[in-house]
Structure 1
Amino acid sequence: MKNRLDLPISEVKGIGEKLQAHLNELGLFSINDLLFYFPFRYDSYEVKPLTELAHEEKATIEGQLTSDPVVQFYGKKKSRLTMTLQVEQFAVKAVMFNRAFAKKQLSAGDTVTITGKWDQHRLQITVSNYKKGAAEDQEPIQPVYTLKESITLVTLRKVIKEALEEYLEDVREILPQDKVLSYKLPERRQAVEQMHYPKTRTMLKHSKRRFIYEEFLLFQLKMQLLRKLQRELTTGNAQNYHNDRLTEFVQSLPFELTGAQKRALSEILKDMKNPYRMNRLLQGDVGSGKTAVAAIALYASITTGRQAALMVPTEILAEQHADSLKEMFGERIRIVLLTGSVKGKRRKEILQDIKEHKADLIIGTHALIQDEVDFQQLGFVIVDEQHRFGVNQRRTLRDKGLHPDVLFMTATPIPRTLAITAFGDMDVSVIDEMPAGRKPVETYWVKGQLTEKVLAFIQKQIRLGHQAYVICPLIEESDQLDIQNAIDLYNQLAQVFEPDIIVGLMHGRLTNEEKEEVMQSFAANRVQVLVSTTVVEVGVNVPNATVMVIHDAERFGLSQLHQLRGRVGRGSEQSYCILLADPKGDVGKERMRIMTETTDGFELSEQDLKLRGPGDFFGRKQSGLPEFKVGDMVHDYRALETARQDAAQIISEGLLETSEEYRMLKQMIEKDEHISGKVLD
């Protein structure tokens, strides 16, 4: 039988062609869409005692007029109406602007309910809404929906109310009874009604709680099913690496692996041995030793006779990886570097070597995923700073080989809450321990701009043979933002430092070749002070740089500040990060305080989430984070964890296929076009 909730919204009484088109603009096409279009906030008309009202809050009061309202006119069409109400034992003054007509509607002795801004000191309310009569005659909590200009709140409330009256009985429970009972959730039909027209704040709270869990559970089930599908498509992918050769390589390294590195490595090696394709995220703070773990994993795959690839976002990073890995591996394997700047005869030779398996490890930028690159037998792929690559670029690389194991690496410490959500179809390994002997970067917050003291400090460090970064947020002067821009700053510093100290400039408007050239000069110490926008953020390794000065630091999030700070402190010398900031608000001040007190990226990322919310965390909307209607990944992280555990259990026990109680959940998931039918067959 066809579900009535799938009918078009035109079936709802009062929705004609024109209104239907306006509702379509809001993404509302079916009756189901309308019923599940929840308010983003609620106006409360609950009458509280005057003693409980906070100064300047939006409040509703009920009282009796002690005299007729008085109107004063001033200017063209401007008026001010004042009246006095007896509320409890108090005389309260009510002021209404530009609604002189109310004088005809109200008179002494009337009971009136008024909503407006409460002034506690003057016992006065500035009226936004008023109604003749007592408060209990109206709904205490009113829904407020997201709107477009073409539709009013009154109209939307009316059609949703109409839809609720006609179709609410068609809403079916989709959660299994044991979950509803054990989490004390209201049943679905009642929760839908309460989300739109809650009788009390408590009922609203429980209805929200129900939909937060439902949303997270559906999302996590989809993620786990995708993961199951990916695994089942890639059986026969076990890599039985050569244990003795691997042990010999690990023992040849000039350092001892930390406990966290060993743990991450064993998780990766275990994945490689199982018959499914690996899909793992390795996250670790700047300098935590991800590259060493990556090198060992790459080598493990190469000992099975397969090829391996390492893809990074920039050419200079590819070159640095190639240099450090050649040093690590010595003569054990054959490494080639393939980037956009390798051209002509040399490029042909490299492509031929890859095709004929004369190269074991191929390191490069996205040049690796172009059609001309023909791998012989690609067994293992590492994508570094994976959030810098588009999903399609990652998929192309993955699909070039025979379902290679894939390891994504990132130095952006992502809080566990976000990692399990944004990357729910991946396993996550974390390196949360720094190698021995690594000195934490000393961080200082300096109010204002570049002072003589800071300049003198930079000069002192350069005289000791070190180098410095100076970072600022924008390239050119912006009218809206009074920000020290990179070009001005470069000119200023060149005047102060040159000719003894050479200053370089880097920003996003330079071509890739120009950026590479600037970074090469800095890496080779031909440039001692590099003025840059945040393009310097990811990956580049200049162990000689010991000073990081960040201009207008309050304009950056904690995670970005931490990433920038991670550009220094890569050698054995003590390094410093100086935050130049004059934050106006509490959040900005809090951010500076946290930065000076902690160097733990994971702790910072948790704090950043609390201060900024998940949408901004990756700095871009296409971060791959799902958008939830009711749930908030940060605020409701406990529900997210619970939903993830429940989803894992449901999938592992095969309940979607075998249990009648889970039939509705299965149907909901099947509606999602991203989940292939194969998963649920």
Structure 2
Amino acid sequence: MESSTAHLDINRLQQALTVEAERGFVNLQGRQYLFADFLSLSLGQNLPPVWDSSDRLQAQTLSNQYAKYASLPISQRQHLVAETRRLLYDVRRREIAAASAPQLTKKPKTEILVKQATKTTSARSNSTQTGTTALKPLSLDLNLQYLEGISPKVAEKLTRLDLHTVEDVLNYYPRDHIDYARQIEIRNLNDGETVTVIGTIHRYSCFTSPKNPNLTIVEIILRDRTGQIKLNRFWAGKRYSNRGWQEQQKRLYPQGATVAASGVVKRGKYGLTLEDFDIEVLDHSQDRIESNTIGRVVPVYPLTEGISPELIRRVVIQCLPIAHKIADPIPEKLRKDYQLIGLAEAIAQVHYPDDSEKLEAAIVRLTFDKYFYRRLVSLYRRNQQKAIQFVPRSHLIEKLEAILPFQLTGAQNRSISEIRADLQGTTPMNRLVQGDVGSGKTIVAVYALLAAIESGYQAALMAPTEVLAEQHYRKIVEWFNLLYIPVELLTGSTRTAKRRETLSQLETGELPLIIGTHALIQDTVNFCRLGLAVIDEQHRFGRDQRSRLLQKGEDPHVLIMTATPIPRTLYLTNSEIEVSIIDELPPGRKPIQTTLLKPSQRKDAYELMRREIAQGRQVYIVFPLVEESDKMEDVKAAIQEREHLQSVVFPNFKIGLLHGQMTSSEKDEAINQFRRSETEILVATTVVEVGVDIPNASVMLIEHADRFGLAQLHQLRGRVGRGAAQSYCLLMSNAKSEVAQERLKVLEQSQDGFFIAERDFQLRGKGKDEGTEQSGHAGFSIEDRLSDEAKRLELYQIAREAAERLIKKDSTLESFPQLKAEFDHHYQRLQGGAIFT
């Protein structure tokens, strides 16, 4: 029987389910099976003895459902995955109980929230059921439906946050904390403070609004020896308008009762009040506050529809007593060397910290873990790859330098040196070249391309649009023709005969360099010896698209270029890549004068354009829409405005049009006319954001600038200032919002893409973290709690050093069994479908 069930690994099934949920229930492809096939086969085989008859029946039912998984809607896939996880956790819990029955009789111990934990333990002992599910002893893999007050229906809701077990909850970190621990007298309240007030109820009213029968209003007058404050709360719904419910509320808070109230102080119509307050009745003013929120530091968790903050906090408090059972995989010596607290303590303190110092220590430890495992996975993965080591030669580079009409900047030379070192290393290069618009990233890439060609390998440069690919081709082919190196362009517009000839030359190795768009990743494209892949504006490609290009060779070196502003924190803490920064502009470039304008200043903008055109310059005017929309009546569109500008505003100038709905040939013609100065003004959408390089253009007017992101505006601004003449960027906006105005003023303040990215990061937030590895869910990551960027970067460097120390000491990690097990978990998650084999 054992041999027939040896292949059933619950851990593996759980990991597969976790990865599928994280990737959005897309039926991931593994090395051997699709996710659904893997689950269907696993659950349909002979099962171990610990699986009882009902388990086996349910497993067979689930196996049959997975056979139809591909045709199910997302909601049913989610439900099926949740049911499977619940079954596996139940079976695993019985396995543990059978192996360690004596230990399960011990009462859980914790130093945190002792009174609440004791109550929960007592209820667990005295109660046999909550809803329809019997309470069970706490364990890390206990399903949440077995907690006190958590019915199967509530547990099902929690799965929306990917919370299935006690351990899931403990690893669900707060995105913030509110400090209600500060008790203050009413006369000392200040607007904006978070406080707790203890006083007596002078008046408590609960009544239905005379204007809205579905709205119930609670009014409380709270007094202490220094003054009084009025608190209001509103309840929407007919059940709160019930007279019996309202009278019950009055009995809970009788006149003269001593209460503690916590909230944020706000100045309202009737003076200061507490916004969104929590309140608890005390026996007397010196009584201990029993609430999970009032008078303490309260965690704030990422939520989703149907899940309240109170529910999450209640669940967390029930789970905390066994936080000490979480093993710490990081070796003790390493923890001491880097002054890290233990993992169990960090998890307990990150939820309900004793004080701000312990909260900080917990956040540091958990952020360290994230950086550490990410770097460890990266190092391990790179060690598995065999690098193509380019032979250092320089005759082509010497010839290139002889024909270049300019000198490289110090930042360019530094980046080239870093790339050369990578190309001669023992692991494949994976480097990002980050530089502002016009900083000269292309010539840096050319040095890498020549290194590959000199070493006898082929190279590919992939760009996201035909416009950008063609720009690269025009620039590079001028240099390479002088070096007698053939170069070809491959896009969707390449004619059949030319495509056939190019593909043949690639396959035989006759063609050393190909420049193109997504056309490069088609199945018909085969390389003889691909050694280097250069990807421009990589954020515009999906992960699968980038991977398909790399699969055209055997672990080729990778160079990524981007001009899109990225906060230093985000890319410097990405363990998958090394970073080269080009933070100098070529000599002779003048700063672009950027001005925020109101619609009333439009005439001034037009006059500037006329002056510039009179001096032989050209102008861009960018709109957010191609055509007018009924849904956005107040937003101007390119097609209609071009007609207005041509007939009314600039009748003496020729105006071109460029937008994304035009065919490739139409776009090419519009750009070429502008390049040849046959049109003085180009009306466009954001299709000009990348790849349009017209040194003669000196004015960029962006209409409805508040509708664009800062990074996008910075890219658009980079279309001018590419020649020696003074250039101008005009941001037209009628936005009244202070936030919108503040965002646009950032562009007036600086042309430094790094500064702009950091300000955008502060104003907008960073959005979803890169990769799949996250704690806190819902786009939140624990490192977000470290507001000090310098501290975050320092911590990343420490984690990076620690990972490199360990992998150098033991590249297999076999001498650290606990760490190896945790590493395997992270590796499988980052690898995605590789576990479905």
For this structure pair, what is the TM-score category when the shorter chain's length is used for normalisation? Answer: 0.7 to 0.9
Task: Mark the CA change 1:661 to 1:607 in structure 2 (over 3 Å): closer, same or farther.
Answer: farther
Identical amino acids, percent of aligned pairs = 36
Partner AA of 2:372 in structure 1: L
Distance in 1 separating the partners of 2:431 and 2:529: 20
Q: Which residue of 2 aligns with 1:311?
A: 462
Q: Which residue of 1 aligns with 2:317?
A: 161
Given the alignment of the two structures, is residue 343 of structure 1 paired with residue 495 of structure 2, yes or no? yes
Q: Displacement of 1:469 after TM fit?
A: 0.9
Contact 1:220 1:643 in 2 (8 A): no
- Indicate the larger mover: 341-350 or 3-12: 3-12
Q: Which residue of 1 aligns with 2:582?
A: 431
SS of residue in 2 equivalent to 1:137? coil
Q: Which residue of 1 aligns with 2:227?
A: 90
Q: Which residue of 1 aligns with 2:523?
A: 371
Unpaired segments ≥5 residues, structure 1: none
| Equivalent of residue 173 in structure 1, options 319, 328, 335 | 328
Q: Which residue of 1 aligns with 2:351?
A: 196
Distance in 2 separating the partners of 1:622 and 1:203: 28
Task: Mark the CA change 1:608 to 1:573 in structure 2 (over 3 Å): closer, same or farther.
Answer: same
Contact 1:224 1:647 in 2 (8 A): no
Given the alignment of the two structures, is residue 648 of structure 1 paired with residue 801 of structure 2, yes or no? yes
Q: Displacement of 1:33 after TM fit?
A: 0.4
Distance in 2 separating the partners of 1:302 and 1:70: 82
Q: Displacement of 1:492 after TM fit?
A: 2.5
Q: Displacement of 1:177 after TM fit?
A: 3.3
Q: Which residue of 2 aligns with 1:471?
A: 622
| Equivalent of residue 457 in structure 1, options 595, 608, 611 | 608
Contact 2:423 2:557 in 1 (8 A): yes
SS of residue in 2 equivalent to 1:392? helix
Q: Which residue of 2 aligns with 1:444?
A: 595
1:465-505: CA deviations, max 9, x gaps? Answer: 22111123334446468433334432331223454322233
Q: Displacement of 1:511 after TM fit?
A: 4.5
- Indicate the larger mover: 484-493 or 564-573: 484-493
Distance in 2 separating the partners of 1:316 and 1:82: 64
Task: Mark the CA change 1:373 to 1:126 in structure 2 (over 3 Å): closer, same or farther.
Answer: closer
Distance in 2 separating the partners of 1:366 and 1:119: 55
1:37-82: CA deviations, max 9, x gaps? Answer: 23344455432233442226564321134x5656787624777665
Q: Which residue of 1 aligns with 2:173?
A: 38
Given the alignment of the two structures, is residue 332 of structure 1 paired with residue 484 of structure 2, yes or no? yes
Task: Mark the CA change 1:52 to 1:559 in structure 2 (over 3 Å): closer, same or farther.
Answer: farther
Contact 1:213 1:639 in 2 (8 A): no
Q: Displacement of 1:450 after TM fit?
A: 5.9
- Indicate the larger mover: 84-93 or 70-79: 70-79
Task: Mark the CA change 1:413 to 1:625 in structure 2 (over 3 Å): closer, same or farther.
Answer: farther
Given the alignment of the two structures, is residue 136 of structure 1 paired with residue 292 of structure 2, yes or no? no
Q: Which residue of 2 aligns with 1:664?
A: 818
Q: Which residue of 2 aligns with 1:62?
A: 198
Distance in 1 separating the partners of 2:647 and 2:152: 68
Task: Mark the CA change 1:405 to 1:217 in structure 2 (over 3 Å): closer, same or farther.
Answer: closer
SS of residue in 2 equivalent to 1:632? helix
Task: Mark the CA change 1:109 to 1:471 in structure 2 (over 3 Å): closer, same or farther.
Answer: same
Unpaired segments ≥5 residues, structure 2: 1-94, 101-138, 236-245
Given the alignment of the two structures, is residue 125 of structure 1 paired with residue 125 of structure 2, yes or no? no
Distance in 2 separating the partners of 1:386 and 1:93: 56
Distance in 1 separating the partners of 2:147 and 2:191: 43
Q: Displacement of 1:320 after TM fit?
A: 2.3
Q: Displacement of 1:265 after TM fit?
A: 1.0
Q: Displacement of 1:276 after TM fit?
A: 2.9
Given the alignment of the two structures, is residue 485 of structure 1 paired with residue 637 of structure 2, yes or no? yes
Distance in 1 separating the partners of 2:308 and 2:633: 35
Given the alignment of the two structures, is residue 271 of structure 1 paired with residue 422 of structure 2, yes or no? yes
Partner AA of 1:309 in structure 2: A
Partner AA of 1:6 in structure 2: D
Task: Mark the CA change 1:39 to 1:604 in structure 2 (over 3 Å): closer, same or farther.
Answer: closer
Partner AA of 1:301 in structure 2: A
Distance in 1 separating the partners of 2:668 and 2:486: 25
Q: Displacement of 1:279 after TM fit?
A: 1.4
TM-score using structure 1 length: 0.88
Distance in 2 separating the partners of 1:431 and 1:463: 35
TM-score using structure 2 length: 0.72
SS of residue in 2 equivalent to 1:470? strand
Contact 2:186 2:229 in 1 (8 A): no
Task: Mark the CA change 1:676 to 1:212 in structure 2 (over 3 Å): closer, same or farther.
Answer: closer
Q: Displacement of 1:551 after TM fit?
A: 1.7
Q: Which residue of 2 aligns with 1:113?
A: 260
Q: Displacement of 1:365 after TM fit?
A: 1.3
Q: Displacement of 1:10 after TM fit?
A: 4.3
Task: Mark the CA change 1:406 to 1:74 in structure 2 (over 3 Å): closer, same or farther.
Answer: closer
- Indicate the larger mover: 134-143 or 71-80: 71-80
Distance in 2 separating the partners of 1:22 and 1:609: 32
1:162-208: CA deviations, max 9, x gaps? Answer: 3333x333122334435544665543333333333344455444433
The 5 Å alignment of 1:565-576 reads 565-576=717-728
- Indicate the larger mover: 284-293 or 478-487: 478-487
1:246-296: CA deviations, max 9, x gaps? Answer: 223222212111111111111112222234322111121111111222222
Task: Mark the CA change 1:517 to 1:89 in structure 2 (over 3 Å): closer, same or farther.
Answer: same
Given the alignment of the two structures, is residue 544 of structure 1 paired with residue 696 of structure 2, yes or no? yes
Task: Mark the CA change 1:357 to 1:155 in structure 2 (over 3 Å): closer, same or farther.
Answer: closer
Distance in 2 separating the partners of 1:20 and 1:54: 40
Partner AA of 1:125 in structure 2: T
Distance in 1 separating the partners of 2:153 and 2:205: 43
Distance in 2 separating the partners of 1:218 and 1:623: 13
Distance in 2 separating the partners of 1:568 and 1:198: 52
SS of residue in 1 equivalent to 2:722? coil
Distance in 1 separating the partners of 2:289 and 2:581: 58
Q: Which residue of 2 aligns with 1:385?
A: 537
Q: Which residue of 2 aligns with 1:639?
A: 792
- Indicate the larger mover: 42-51 or 24-33: 42-51
Contact 2:221 2:230 in 1 (8 A): yes
